[in-house]
Chains A and B, each alone.
Chain A
Amino acid sequence: MSTGLVIVQVLNGLQLGVLLFLIAAGLTLVFGVMDFINLAHGAQYMLGAYLAVAFFALTGSFLATLALALAAALAFGLALEFLVFRHLYGRDHLDHVIATFGILLFINHGVKLIWGAAPLSLPIPELLSGSVRLMDGLLYPVWRLVVIGSGLGIATLLYVVVVHTRTGMLVRAGASNARMVSALGVDIRRLFMIVFGFGAMLAGFAGIMVAPILSVDPGMGDTVLILAFVVIVIGGIGSIRGAFIAALLIGLVDTLGRSFSVDILRLVMGPAPARTVGPALASMSIYLLMAIVLYVRPTGLFPAKAR
């Protein structure tokens, strides 16, 4: 367990954390403002990655790919909102679950139908494909730093928008009491649409950014969706700040747990049982964390809903 390895894994954990934040941010606002559970949000992230691969094959330029894929992700999110979701607000959660589950099945299998089940890949933009030297003998890919940086940038931007603009104020008000906001004469439907489209675009952005470092496959959205749920539950539904802190926490715990659980367990048990128990414990760690947080605070760390 060298210092270098720890630094690299902390950076990887941060990268997973900001990625989760990009996905959870949209999801938590949609939950918070509209009391709407969207199982298809992970599929929108996956779609972002696939759109990036498709547009890159068309244009050959990463910047053009980014712009086109973001626009397409936004358009797709708005289309879903217009066609399906807006008819479901105020309905029973069971209806949300079933409808969005149907959409998820459609997107997951539609993607398989169009692009096949085999993983695809996207090249890292040439300008950013190198590595930086963190310390002696320790190189870290520039693109991963770009992912971390852009995620933190978006988080700052979101913070400014949510805390210092009128729209952001309405979103916060909507998350704590949507009915009251509507009674005060705000067009809550339009607000819902903005939040939803923006959330879909953020998820798409996350998908585009990780496409060069992960394999792009039809299952990628599901794993991330569940992690984003854990983030939201820990952070408190509707809270951007909670989502940010919980996302970094989950990213770090998951990554460090996976890398070092065997080494840590070796301190208390033999190498053979440590190798068996370690991975199992690592894959449980974030859920255990969630269980503990919820046991102490059933509404998460920073609940946004007014009582």
Chain B
Amino acid sequence: MPSATSLVPTPSRSFSAEVLPIAIFLVFVAIPIVAPFAGGGYLLSFSARVMIFAVAAVALDLLVGYCGLISFGHAAFIGLGAYAVGILSAHGLSDAVISLPTAVAVAALYALLTGLVCMRTNGVYFIMITLAFGQMAFFTASSLALYGGDDGLTIAARNTVAGFALLKNEWTFYYVVLGCLLSCYLFCRALVASRFGRVVRGAKENPVRIAAMGFDVYRFQLAIYVIAGALAGVSGFLLANATEFVSPAYMSWQRSGELIVMVLLGGLGSLNGAIVGTAVYLLAEEWLSGFTEHWKVIFGPALVLVVLFARGGLIGLSTELMHGRRHG
């Protein structure tokens, strides 16, 4: 298989790469059916939360996994999407027909404006600048005294969809979230397999060569940064509707760090790995926080140990996972 020798992750056509995503989505489809027998509403809302963050994680995998752009401000786009819903509904506009496109547009616009600057840099600079722009969104949201400031903003009710209170029911909301995750996943899959996707993947490997072939790497990377931001905006729209509350904490830089960890846990550059990683991270959070409120005291050193002792660090572990999957 030629793709196994290449360092650029390619959406593999092998059995497991096709079966794994189908299995993942079948599990999500089945959860509401088994929920009445195990966990009930809690299981349903927890799984919805996993899928909401998975939308953002899949988008982040586009950047980190396929472009090698370590964006440390991804949570800001989730927060912007969520705030779009919150602020619109504070002004009485609470229909998804308006709020979803607004959430996506706001997140995409912020990605475009900050991307114009971020994409001119690389390496450590890129990490720090995305982090700084993420914090800019965080502090701006905290200073919005009209919309709750630090305390956040409670949303009166979930968005209606073209006038129908479709999202009010937990079951329908769950399947709407699932639909969003599925479309986002399929879209990203198609994107990385397209000519556009091949260019950005090539630019990760050797930007000079791609530029020599006549592609403007800057514009391609900016485009994918905007796409990833817009998808995170969708995640923010769903999150605001799930919790009926928005707060600056959605944009905190620790949240951005957690998103990177989620993507890495499932394996970089496979898209479905980002979904698995999100589930693993949130399950670990549920499980460890059952022992102690300070579960990150355990989780932090665990991360360090994985980086130090897993061969080639987390990235090595990721590629190994990918490799293992490819060969069944």
Contact = CB atoms under 8 A, between A and B. Distances in A.
B237 to A, nearest CB: 22
A92 B315 contact: yes
B314 A222 contact: no
B203 interface: no
A290 interface: yes
Contacts of A110: 294, 297
Contact of A290 (B132, B300, B301, B313): B132
A226 B120 contact: no
Contact of B264 (A39, A94, A113, A237): A94
Residue of B64, B70, B121, B135 contacting most chain A CB atoms (<10 Å): B135
Given A94-B70, A98-B260, A294-B129, A284 B136 contact: yes
B131 interface: yes
Interface string A3-40: 00000000000000000000000000001000101010
Given A93-B123, A280-B140, A287-B133, A294 B302 contact: no
Contacts of B136: 283-284, 287
A108 B313 CA distance: 23
Nearest to B146: A276
Interface residues of B, number: 48
A95 B319 CA distance: 14
Interface string A121-136: 0000000000000000
B144 interface: yes
Interface residues of A, number: 47
Contacts of A112: 294
Contact of A84 (B70, B121, B308): B308
Contacts of A84: 304, 308
B297 A113 contact: yes
B127 interface: yes
Interface of B: 64, 70, 72, 114, 116-117, 120-121, 123-125, 127-129, 131-133, 135-136, 139-140, 142-146, 253-254, 257, 260-261, 264, 294-297, 299-304, 306-308, 313-315
Given A94-B313, A112-B294, A290-B129, 18 more contacts: A87-B308, A93-B124, A97-B72, A98-B306, A101-B257, A103-B300, A103-B304, A105-B300, A106-B297, A106-B300, A109-B294, A222-B254, A229-B132, A233-B128, A233-B129, A276-B145, A279-B145, A283-B136
